[in-house]
Structure 1
Amino acid sequence: MKVLFAARAALWDSWAPALRRACPEMDLHREGDPASFDALIYAPGFPENGEVLDFTPFSRARIVQSLWAGVEQIVTNPTLTQPLCRMVDPGLARGMAEYCAGWAMRAHLRMDSFAQDGQWRHEIVPPLAEQRPVTILGMGELGRACAGALTALGFRVTGWSQSGRPVPGVEVLPGAALNQALGRAEILICLLPDTPQTRNLLDAERLALLPKGATLINAGRGSLIDDDALLAALERDRPGHAVLDVFRHEPLPAEHPFWAHPRVTVTPHIAAATRPETAAAIAAENLRRAMRDEPLLYLVDRERGY
């Protein structure tokens, strides 16, 4: 099969060897006649001249396999008529689980309360994890991975998704119960995709539902939270602290108030990365399925946007 690597040139050296190992029968190229390709492996930023890729000439392509989990920058392209599959990388899921579990433990244990100033704060004793309610917004692959890590540590985890689809070992609330999910969240983890339905989901009204002093961890998409509403909510201690890894504009501008806010921790979109060594196998399996006319993995629903 002939495949176009439709991603930035800087990604080639790390991805091409992994893809070729995972799929030796693949004839991988960086350029060529669009009508000659059986498939595309795609990431936003291609082409690098800033133009939006026109998928129309790729008349033979049976699949567009995204390198990233998020597809919001692709799914709205009106020229994309080929099947689009998002990347569900087991390495990415593990990385996300580690990030969220790490910050949840830091918040739970109040690690930042122990200033190294000579004061003996012996009265700061955290409860056990089973007494600390955690809510995860978004129960897809990443949400389930995080829930598994946190329940293994003893936390009481509530999940929330529009469908409310059951997850073993976790109470999952459906779309209509969002307020209930927020109201019990001493630690709130946001892992939702960017869709018209999720943008500004956490506005002033919903942030006010959080328990006093709650910790908000957003590793989903920056568009989930109304930035101005969050800054105002932090002054009311609902939440008491926000750990933010994703933003509406990245890199986050140096003058943005999040950087200097004493109740905000900024991390530079590092919660989870797609790792070629684990993701290549997923891409390879989907390419083979496309060539055999078999059901594709992680096919994007264009109506839902993910």
Structure 2
Amino acid sequence: MKILLPDTMPLDPALPEGWEAVEVDARAPIPAAHHDAEAIVLWGPSRSHLESAARDLTGVRLVQSLSAGVENIVAAGFRDGAVVTTGAGLHSLTVAEHTVGLVLALLRSLPASLAAQSRHEWDRSIGGLQPLNPPERLNSLVGAEVLIWGFGQIGQTVAPVLAGLGAHVRGVARSAGERSGFEVIAEADVAAALPATDVLIDILPATGSTAHAIDAAVLDALPDRAVVVNVGRGATVDQAALREALVAGTIGGAALDVTDPEPLPQDDPLWDAPRLIITPHSAGGKPVGADDRIAENLRRLDAGEELLHPAG
């Protein structure tokens, strides 16, 4: 039995007996000699590669994505007997790390400090004696109210780090309850929570129901000093409304690791919005534990057991 591994990252899973691994070009259609593969790992596939996998691998049983989002893979139309599994959890540490970095960069005025440094200026409005979180500007996580919209594995990894720095953290999910020791409010209650939110973190997937979830109404409901961070999907934020809020000063700042579209066009006015940090979808991109996930799902496939993190 054959599993196809992408050449977009080094992989060396411990394969169960009877399996062989073949590395293929993830930017090209799959060669005819490998159309007999029963499993494939996808990581940064080109459109032609994904279309070829769905069309040509007529006996594929496992489609293992290393990304948490698999909307495009599911839409490619693999055969009915193929199970698409996600990379959920493989990016929790790296995305959480990036999220915390973006939040701290905004609160600690790192972009303004870098700008001052480029001018050789000691900006006393940033340093020196400062009140803690004055009404007009959030400058610390101590006592800050943080709302994480999309409280899956990444959100539950971020939450204790922010709480450890003094923030009060709540999650948002479809239904209210408690996850990993943190209060979770229902999506229906988000509007009521926004006026008291200092930091809004978006880790939502891109679905029909989440398109522009963070829109003008959400931004208007936030305090003027609040900051917004998106490490989910670009389509979940109304970028025109976000730019307007930043220009008007009705939110304190924002950081986007994802945009719609990607890459963000060079002439997009969002680039020049004030108090905005844009990173080029760099929060993830480094799946941690990929080899173990592949090996375990192959073992489960052979044993007829439920696979880890099936899509949908």
Flag whether TM exceeds 0.5 (same fold).
yes
Query: Given that residues 69 and 86 in structure 2 are in contact (C-alpha distance below 8 angstroms), is that contact kept between their aligned partners in structure 1?
Result: yes
Unpaired runs of at least 5, structure 2: 25-30, 134-139
* Paired position in structure 2 for 1:87: 87
Query: Given that residues 183 and 209 in structure 1 are in contact (C-alpha distance below 8 angstroms), is that contact kept between their aligned partners in structure 2?
Result: yes
CA offsets 1:266-294 (integer angstroms, 9 cap, x no match): 1111112233x621211211121112110
Deviation at 1:87, TM superposition (A): 0.4
Q: Secondary structure at the match of 1:74?
A: helix
* Paired position in structure 1 for 2:210: 198
Matches within 5 A, 1:142-291: 142-275=154-287, 278-291=289-302
Unpaired runs of at least 5, structure 1: 302-306
Query: Given that residues 85 and 311 in structure 2 are in contact (C-alpha distance below 8 angstroms), is that contact kept between their aligned partners in structure 1?
Result: yes
* Paired position in structure 1 for 2:65: 66
Query: Given that residues 89 and 282 in structure 1 are in contact (C-alpha distance below 8 angstroms), is that contact kept between their aligned partners in structure 2?
Result: no
**2:130 aligned partner, one-letter code:** I
Query: Given that residues 58 and 79 in structure 2 are in contact (C-alpha distance below 8 angstroms), is that contact kept between their aligned partners in structure 1?
Result: no
* Paired position in structure 1 for 2:21: 28
TM-score after normalising by structure 1: 0.85
% same residue: 31
Deviation at 1:2, TM superposition (A): 1.3
Deviation at 1:196, TM superposition (A): 0.7
* Paired position in structure 2 for 1:304: none
Deviation at 1:167, TM superposition (A): 0.8
C-alpha separation in 2, matches of 1:233 and 1:119 = 25
**1:42 aligned partner, one-letter code:** L
Deviation at 1:63, TM superposition (A): 1.4
C-alpha separation in 2, matches of 1:172 and 1:244 = 23
Query: Given that residues 214 and 237 in structure 1 are in contact (C-alpha distance below 8 angstroms), is that contact kept between their aligned partners in structure 2?
Result: no
Check 1:118–1:44 CA distance in 2 against 1; reply closer, same or farther (3 A cut).
closer
Deviation at 1:47, TM superposition (A): 5.6
CA offsets 1:103-126 (integer angstroms, 9 cap, x no match): 222333344565453453444333
Q: Secondary structure at the match of 1:55?
A: helix
Q: Secondary structure at the match of 1:205?
A: helix
Matches within 5 A, 1:9-158: 9=7, 11=8, 14-16=9-11, 18-19=12-13, 22-23=14-15, 25=17, 26-29=19-22, 30=24, 31-33=31-33, 36-46=36-46, 48=48, 52-53=51-52, 55-81=54-80, 82-90=82-90, 92-112=91-111, 115=116, 117-121=121-125, 122-127=128-133, 129-158=141-170
C-alpha separation in 1, matches of 2:283 and 2:130 = 28
C-alpha separation in 2, matches of 1:252 and 1:23 = 40
CA offsets 1:160-215 (integer angstroms, 9 cap, x no match): 01233521321110121121343332111111111111111111111111111211
C-alpha separation in 2, matches of 1:211 and 1:223 = 23
CA offsets 1:211-269 (integer angstroms, 9 cap, x no match): 11211111111000111111112233332211111011222111111222222111111
**2:10 aligned partner, one-letter code:** W
Check 1:47–1:265 CA distance in 2 against 1; reply closer, same or farther (3 A cut).
closer
Query: Given that residues 89 and 154 in structure 2 are in contact (C-alpha distance below 8 angstroms), is that contact kept between their aligned partners in structure 1?
Result: no
Q: Secondary structure at the match of 2:154?
A: helix
Give the number of the structure with larger relative contact order, counting CA–CA contacts within 8 Å between residues 6 or more apart.
1
Q: Secondary structure at the match of 1:289?
A: helix
